[in-house]
Structure 1
Amino acid sequence: MIAQPYLSIVGWARNDGYTPNYAKRLEHALGFLVRQLDTHKVPSELIVVEWNPPPGQPLLAEEMGALGGAGHVTVRFIVVPPKHHEGPQGWQTRGMHVNNAANVGMRRARGRYVTPKALDTFYSERLVARLAQLNLDDGCVYRCDRLDARMEDESWLDLPDEELLAKLARNTVQRHERLTHSIDWKMRDLHTNACGDFLLMTAERWGEIRGYQKDPSVLCLDSDSIALHAAAAHGASEIHWLDECIYKVVHGNTHAQRTATVWKDWQLRLDQHLLGRKRRELAMSLRVWLDYPRRRVRGLEEILAPSIERNFVAKAARYARNDLSFVTNDADWGLANETLSERTVLRAAWDSP
């Protein structure tokens, strides 16, 4: 009989050269995290969802070397075939749908607590030590800051764990701290900045909010922030850990480096006119109602994404009113009714086959 792990960490990937040496980066990050969780004796599982594997390329599960392991961590790879990727706007250009991939893993997670995680990020030692206390509160949703680090070359992939963490700290170029949203947005004050890198709550709570929202495009903008506000509406209290963090080695595909707002002249003139007359609330309302400024993502210029006001602010405002009738996904979220291929590349002592 399979025991329940304390923690499930869910990531997504495909072997498409998203970044240079992606498979090596992934193997390094997974091994790093396995060693951390083993050292701190956290009963846990890492779930990697291989979304829409490219034809002619080996599965990432097949490219992973030995991840070591001292008995506390299971590593599972779940494969989602290409047919489940077809349909959303932009699917032919981008092979990954982050929301759907993450939802597949979270729906199948066995842990009491679940968090999504970009697989090329690194948890600080303080963060893993905090998790190892095994005293999380079911009534809370946990957040911490992400620190972006810039490396001069790929030599960091060969560094021992302790040296790598020290180098990440030395080379930090940006900290994604808590932001204060406009009071005109009428939403809860939550730490949404880069929250998709660490958004930890119970599996039951993820089920209540039905994971990440259903997105008709492959852009998946604002989904982590919406999930955080949905969790708060369902009663979760946010805990922001200030001394713990996640490190990310930045690259050209980092989200903040590829998204830009698109204004039409009349929108800009109207917005400036209203703000100049101190009609901020009306300006915000019109942005929601008329859906501007839209957003464009580099590499998918053919898609104009909804404005942040339409796609995020309006939804967060509803959750601020505790409108639990508002749901952003279907009951079968995460391909719940599909049987998917799965491979366990590392099995913990608690995980009986």
Structure 2
Amino acid sequence: MTAAPKLSVVAATRNDEHGGNQMARTQLFINGLAEQALRFKLPVELLLVEWNPPPDRPPLAEALSWPRSEWFAPRIVVVSPELHARFPHADGLPLFQMIAKNVGIRRSAAEFVLATNIDILLSDELFASFAHDLKPDALYRVDRLDIEADLTRNPLPSPAECRALPWLRAHRQDGTHYPDGRREPWYARARSRFNRAVWNATHGGALPDLFTWGCGDFTLTTNKVWEGMHGYPEWPMYSFHLDSLALVMAYAAGVEMVTLAPPQVVHHLEHGAGSGWTPEGARRLFGRLDAAGVPYLSGSGYDRVAREILRKGRGFHPLNESDEWGLGGEELTVVTP
């Protein structure tokens, strides 16, 4: 790529077949970005952080195909198993997702940086908006549509074919929706609202209504904002709720929260139950984490930390106090595949 990137896309993974058909999902993610960058003529760099690569599997540079053009430049930032082993709970959690994303964010070159995941496809309408419509002091969120693609097919379906699939769930600011219109029963929603009202009344009022559902799959803001926040919290635990705290930090700093309307959405390639959070697989996920002794932030824990941030008043209040967030003090291997 000859031009400076207008957008940096950051994701983290390792070749361990997490969630099933992981390399297929990652390949579709790469293909989708490369094809859209070329078609819309938007210079994009992809920083894929390869965290703790398994010694018995090929590295990502060899395991995947890497389309290149003057509009798309992929880089792989490698965090070694030895560095991973320094963190608490390294045996139970092979990938610290938010620390890994910080590694990529810190090393990004574009003004706007999208933190996302390797099972995400961007709608054409969303990608087209990146060229002209982004504001420098805003953080962008979108709805996420879960889809189920045939990832065992050879050749793989194209990103366009996947984006055209019917959605299984839509994750919106007000929660999860299904195509048949079903929601939780009215009495369950009423009980939830009552419990939240009681909690808020006894804990200092309601938190701001931020679009935290699925925010780890799409959080787009400027390099300057990411720098002000020192990225995501770098706590050695499962990533649940850590992505949401980035939104709280940005809100506290006065960053404008923008939710883009459909059809500006992301499409999420469904993975195995218990490998990540879904309404149906939540119990299995947390059972697996508990069995492995891996900590995670509870809903009440998120509430407590969010209130601590907001009580500090207007401004950036990084949860990572060190200026070396994102492994800034480490010389990491960068591979251009």
Q: TM-score range by the shorter chain?
A: 0.7 to 0.9
- Cα shift readout 1:151-175 (whole Å, capped 9, x = no counterpart): 46633962234322212xx1x1111
Name the structure 1 match of 2:266. 246
Deviates more, 1:184-193 or 1:231-240: 184-193
Are the counterparts in 1 of residues 96 and 239 from structure 2 also a CA contact under 8 Å?
yes
The amino acid of 1:81's aligned partner reads S
Q: 2:14 & 2:35 partners in 1: Cα distance? A: 23
- Residues 189 and 157 of structure 1: is their aligned pair in 2 closer, same or farther, counting only changes over 3 Å? farther
Alignment of 1:109-188 (within 5 A): 109-132=108-131, 134-151=132-149, 154-155=152-153, 158-167=156-165, 170=166, 172-179=167-174, 182=196, 184=200, 186-188=206-208
Are the counterparts in 2 of residues 124 and 246 from structure 1 also a CA contact under 8 Å?
yes
Unaligned runs of 5+ in 1: 262-294, 346-353
Does structure 1 residue 316 correspond to structure 2 residue 306?
yes
- Cα shift readout 1:122-161 (whole Å, capped 9, x = no counterpart): 11111111112x3311111000011111346633962234
Unaligned runs of 5+ in 2: 176-192
The amino acid of 1:246's aligned partner reads V
Q: 1:211 & 1:173 partners in 2: Cα distance? A: 31
Match of 2:214 among 194, 198, 201: 194
Does structure 1 residue 75 correspond to structure 2 residue 74?
yes
Alignment of 1:8-47 (within 5 A): 8-47=8-47
Q: 1:206 & 1:129 partners in 2: Cα distance? A: 23
Are the counterparts in 2 of residues 9 and 115 from structure 1 also a CA contact under 8 Å?
yes
Alignment of 1:251-330 (within 5 A): 251=271, 252=273, 253-256=275-278, 257-260=280-283, 296-301=286-291, 302-310=293-301, 312-321=302-311, 322=313, 324=315, 326-329=317-320, 330=322
Pairs aligned (count): 305
Identity %: 29
Are the counterparts in 2 of residues 296 and 304 from structure 1 also a CA contact under 8 Å?
no
The amino acid of 2:134's aligned partner reads L
Superposed CA RMSD: 2.5
The amino acid of 1:176's aligned partner reads H
Q: 1:21 & 1:315 partners in 2: Cα distance? A: 35
Name the structure 1 match of 2:183. none
Q: What is the CA distance between 1:23 and its match in structure 2?
A: 2.0
**TM-score normalised by L of structure 1:** 0.79
Name the structure 2 match of 1:344. 336
Name the structure 1 match of 2:323. 331
Name the structure 1 match of 2:182. none
Are the counterparts in 2 of residues 233 and 319 from structure 1 also a CA contact under 8 Å?
yes
